[in-house]
Amino acid sequence: MKVRGSGKKAEKVDVPMAPMIDVVFQLLIFFMLTLNIVAPEGDFNINMPIGAPGPPSDNVPTSIQVRLLADPETGQLAQLQVTGQEPYGSGPAAFQRLNTYILQQTGAGKNPLADEIEVEIDPDYEVNYEYIVKAISSVTGRMRDGKLQRFVEKIKFAAPREARGRVAG
Amino acid sequence: MKFKAAASSAPEVDMTPMIDIVFQLISFFMVITNFEQTQADERVKLPADRLAKPAEVKRDNELVLNVGYKRDKDGNKTDPRALVFYAAQDIPVANIGPKLKIEQQVFKDTGVDLKEVTLIIRADAEVPAGLIQMLIKLSQEAGFEKFALKAKAEETAG
């Protein structure tokens, strides 16, 4: 059987590249312009059931109260206190001490009552939100070998306090 | 002087490497582009924390409230009041109650139990804690029960 054209020399097929390059550049520009770099964010759950709008819970033995005192003018942390403990100060070491205290209370996950422990955050009106996050973070747990070791899950706020200094609302 | 007579022909440019690179770039941008509609407001300067890691499972029902300050280009506050950036409106925290009631009604109308809704607070690092507590109180009055506070992930050794 004779194959048509089998004797001919293979010809190079000329594919028009211009339209493809047009489209490809369009796509490239589109993706470049829609690119929105967002820093990864995480969140901390707060346990605030409606039935209990922050009553004093000192009579519960598994409740730890963390008090954040502020400089009324700047909102900077002036003192970090935990009920029944010496004041912790205001620097990063204070939050480290809080973290260590919570670790001791929860027994690094070995205490069977650790799940029952509840932490109440009681900040001054003026204290900056960043210190609240630091306090909640110190209470929540710590990072070990890239993994979160959780201490306490039940975190709530005490009843709001009256404003003394700056009122920014 | 004698010039070499050369037949004029269109120079043939090799397109293959360029197309390779361009496809690489397109693939890169396609992979890192995030089309998800987040309710995050860029004006809010979140505090950073080591423990703040993005959630592995996305919540089904959430309402995000952005609380921050109006700032100029240099980051200085142009308005000392902390505002809730809500649907293109800037509302003082104390006045957000009616809007939360509307949100609550929307969730109810769509058959969502408010107990399943997480109210996520994205607050500026300098917002007073009292306002966050006020916001939580107003949200509770509107019927919300689950709350979460946002922080930016911080990458530090250890």
Cβ neighbour number for residue A152 with a 10 Å cutoff: 22
Annotated domain spans of chain A: 63-157
User: Is there a contact between B125 and A40 if contact means CB atoms under 8 Å apart?
Assistant: no
Least confident of A71-75, B61-65, B139-143: A71-75
* Ordered DSSP codes for chain B: ---------------HHHHHHHHHHHHHHHHH---------TT--PPEETT----SS--SSEEEEEEE--B-TTS-BSSSS-EEEETTEEEEGGG-HHHHHHHHHHHHHTT--GGG-EEEEEE-TTSBHHHHHHHHHHHHHHT--EEEEEEEE-----
Residue of B nearest to A25 (CA): B22
User: Is there a contact between B40 and A38 if contact means CB atoms under 8 Å apart?
Assistant: yes
Decide if A65 contacts A120 (C-beta within 8 A): yes
Residue of B nearest to A15 (CA): B15
Candidate from A31, A38, A128 with C-beta closest to B38 = A38
pLDDT, tens digit (0-9, with 9 covering 90-100), for A88-143: 888 888 888 888 888 888 876 666 677 778 888 888 888 999 999 999 988 888 88
pLDDT, tens digit (0-9, with 9 covering 90-100), for B99-138: 999 998 999 899 888 888 889 999 998 888 888 999 999 9
Q: Looking at per-residue confidence, does A50 or B41 come out higher?
A: B41
User: Choosing among B24, B146, B149, B154, which should be mutated to test the A contact, i.e. which has the most A CBs within 10 A?
Assistant: B149
Per the prediction, chain A carries an average pLDDT of 79
Q: What domains sit in chain B, N to C, each tagged with a CATH number?
A: 48-153 (3.30.420)
Rounded mean pLDDT, A142-151: 80
Decide if A73 contacts A167 (C-beta within 8 A): no
CATH class of the structural domain A63-157: alpha beta
The ipTM is: 0.77
Radius of gyration of chain A (CA): 30
Candidate from B23, B127, B136 with C-beta closest to A129 = B127
What are the chain B neighbours of A142 within 8 Å (beta carbons)?
51
From A116, A124, A133, select the one nearest A159 (Cα to Cα). A124
Rounded mean pLDDT, A58-81: 80
- As a whole number of angstroms, the distance between CA B118 and CA B137 comes to 14
pLDDT category at A24 given cuts 50, 70, 90 is: very high
Candidate from A41, A160, A163 with C-beta closest to B151 = A41
